[in-house]
Amino acid sequence: MNEGGSMKELKCPKCGNVFTVDESDYAALLSQVKTSEFEMELTRRVHELEENQKARQQAEQARQAAEQKTAQAQIQLQLQTLQARLDQAEQQKQLAVAQVRQQATEAYMRKEQELAQAKTQWEAERKAAQEQIAYYKELKTRLSTKMVGETLEIHCSTQFNQLLRPLMPYAYFEKDNEVVEGTKGDFVFRDKSEDGVEYISIMFEMKNENDETATKHKNEDFLAKLDADRRKKGCEYAVLVSMLEPESELYNGGIVDMSHRFEKMYVIRPQFFIPLITLLCQTSKKSLDAKRELALVKAQQVDVTNFEDKLMTFKDAFGRNVRLANERFSDAIDEIDKTIAHLQKVRENLVKSGDNLNLADKKLQEVTIKRLTAGNPTMKAKFHEARGNDPEE
């Protein structure tokens, strides 16, 4: 297109013909061309935007689909994992149930064995007790009352020496031969620890009687005396080993605690002699530390008491000596005072005697023949005669 003056030449792009237009036409054509190109460009851009939007939507849909597929895969994987865990938990549960059942079965079988053993042991003990009762009943029918009692004592002593003596090297179990206030028990048991602390002591009384004895005694007949013997001998426990009242269910049932009647007292059959000693020893050993401390405190108290006694003895003796010394000192002071008073009198007498002597000496010095013969012509003549002097001199 050539521009010259006010006319404009335009060439058709399809046919190639050139035609001339004025500025107004050119401006109109140019406006049409610009408008058309703008609309085309606008349409193209809108189309591109729509295509881009569609592409983005498709991409987003594809991404969402992919993410959904991935999420579904993850969910599926988690479900599979959870299912595997559930299966594993179920297996573990089944295994635990099986183990519990097995353990319960084994425990039941062990318990059955223990019950069977306990039953067997009980049967053996019952049989032994029955045999022992039968043995003592037979002894009672054959021996006198005194011999039956002595046999029971021998039995208990033999049981102790055979079963407990090896386990208790420091124990003392001997006949009670010391009579205190007219009575004594049968046996005294004491045991102490390795460091010499006594932790248990028991006074035993053994009682039995022949079936043929006319007067049947009861266990209660001997409890008061046994308690008194326990206290006299300083024992902690008192035990009556008795075959009396053989039909009594109370005494045949086991160890009978009589503490409600007398402190720390028990009544037993001979078969419970060893078990009771063992039980009391085990119980008393738990308080061994406390008894050690008590023994230490008592020893300290004895030391303090001995010290106080010695101090009081010294104070009494010292006070007596001081009192005697004071008395003698007072007597001596009195004697000294008396002596001083006597000497004072002697001094006064001596002073007076001195004065008298001085006066006598003075008077003696004043004595002359002239004074002596004054008024005595005869004596005066004699002196003059003796001197050869004139009597008038």
Average pLDDT score, the chain = 77
CB atoms < 10 A from the CB of 284, how many? 18
- pLDDT reading at 103 higher than 90: no
Least confident stretch, 1-5, 169-173, 220-224, 319-323? 1-5
Buried-exposed string 230-255: b where 16+ CB fall within 10 A, e elsewhere: bebbebbbbbbbbbbbbeeeebeeee
Alpha-carbon gap, residue 378 to 392, rounded angstroms: 13
Least confident stretch, 100-114, 238-252, 290-304? 290-304
Same domain, 233 and 282: yes
Tell whether 228 is covered by a domain.
yes
pTM: predicted TM-score of the whole model, two decimal places:
0.41
Alpha-carbon gap, residue 238 to 203, rounded angstroms: 5
Q: Which pLDDT score is estimated for 1?
A: 46
Q: What is the mean pLDDT of residues 207-229?
A: 81
Burial environment of residue 64 by CB neighbours within 10 A (0 to 12, 13 to 18, 19 or more): exposed
- pLDDT reading at 376 higher than 80: no
Same domain, 187 and 159: yes
Same domain, 257 and 317: no
If residue 121 lies in a helix (H) or strand (E), which one and from where to where? helix 23-142
- pLDDT reading at 389 higher than 60: no
Same domain, 188 and 282: yes
- pLDDT reading at 89 higher than 50: yes
Q: What is the mean pLDDT of residues 340-368?
A: 69
Q: What is the mean pLDDT of residues 351-377?
A: 68
How confident is residue 205, by pLDDT bands cut at 50, 70 and 90? very high
- pLDDT reading at 230 higher than 90: yes
Same domain, 193 and 254: yes
Same domain, 326 and 247: no
Q: Which two tokens stand for residue 20?
A: 């001339």
CA 162 to chain centre: 35
**Full strand arrangement of the beta sheet holding 187-192:** 172-175, 187-192, 198-207, 237-242, 265-268, 256-257
Tell whether 68 is covered by a domain.
no
Q: Are 164 and 277 in contact (CB under 8 A)?
A: yes
Percent of the chain past pLDDT 90, that is, above it, reads: 18
Tell whether 189 is covered by a domain.
yes
Q: Which residue has the higher pLDDT, 216 or 384?
A: 216
Report the CATH number at residue 228: 3.40.1350
Q: Would you give the end-to-end CA distance of the chain in angstroms?
A: 228
Alpha helices in 180-248 (DSSP H): 223-232
- pLDDT reading at 264 higher than 50: yes
Q: Which pLDDT score is estimated for 241?
A: 93
How confident is residue 4, by pLDDT bands cut at 50, 70 and 90? very low
Tell whether 82 is covered by a domain.
no
Q: What is the mean pLDDT of residues 96-118?
A: 77
Q: What is the mean pLDDT of residues 81-99?
A: 82
Q: Which pLDDT score is estimated for 304?
A: 58
Q: Which pLDDT score is estimated for 201?
A: 94
Q: Which pLDDT score is estimated for 186?
A: 87
How confident is residue 381, by pLDDT bands cut at 50, 70 and 90? confident
Q: Which two tokens stand for residue 30?
A: 């140019």
Question: Residues with Cβ < 8 Å from 259, sequence gap 6 or more?
Answer: 265
Same domain, 274 and 341: no
Q: Which pLDDT score is estimated for 120?
A: 83
Q: Which pLDDT score is estimated for 113?
A: 80
Alpha-carbon gap, residue 174 to 188, rounded angstroms: 6
How confident is residue 3, by pLDDT bands cut at 50, 70 and 90? very low
- Owning domain of residue 386: 298-393
Tell whether 263 is covered by a domain.
yes
- Greatest mean pLDDT among 27-41, 172-186, 316-330 lies in 172-186
Q: What is the mean pLDDT of residues 187-216?
A: 83
Q: 238 φ, ψ to 5°?
A: -130, 130
pLDDT tens across 15-61, in order? 777 767 677 777 776 776 666 666 677 677 778 778 888 888 888 88
Q: Last residue of a domain, which of 266, 286, 306?
A: 286
Q: Which pLDDT score is estimated for 298?
A: 72
Same domain, 224 and 274: yes
Same domain, 152 and 281: yes
Alpha-carbon gap, residue 374 to 367, rounded angstroms: 11
Q: Last residue of a domain, which of 256, 286, 316?
A: 286
- pLDDT reading at 266 higher than 80: yes
pLDDT tens across 285-299, in order? 887 777 777 777 776
- pLDDT reading at 222 higher than 50: yes
Q: Which pLDDT score is estimated for 305?
A: 64
Alpha-carbon gap, residue 336 to 128, rounded angstroms: 97
- pLDDT reading at 107 higher than 90: no
Q: Which pLDDT score is estimated for 200?
A: 92
- Greatest mean pLDDT among 51-60, 80-89, 153-162 lies in 153-162
Least confident stretch, 42-56, 211-225, 304-318? 304-318
Q: Which pLDDT score is estimated for 83?
A: 84
Tell whether 58 is covered by a domain.
no
Q: Are 32 and 25 in contact (CB under 8 A)?
A: no
Per the structure, the count of domains in the chain is 2
Same domain, 303 and 276: no
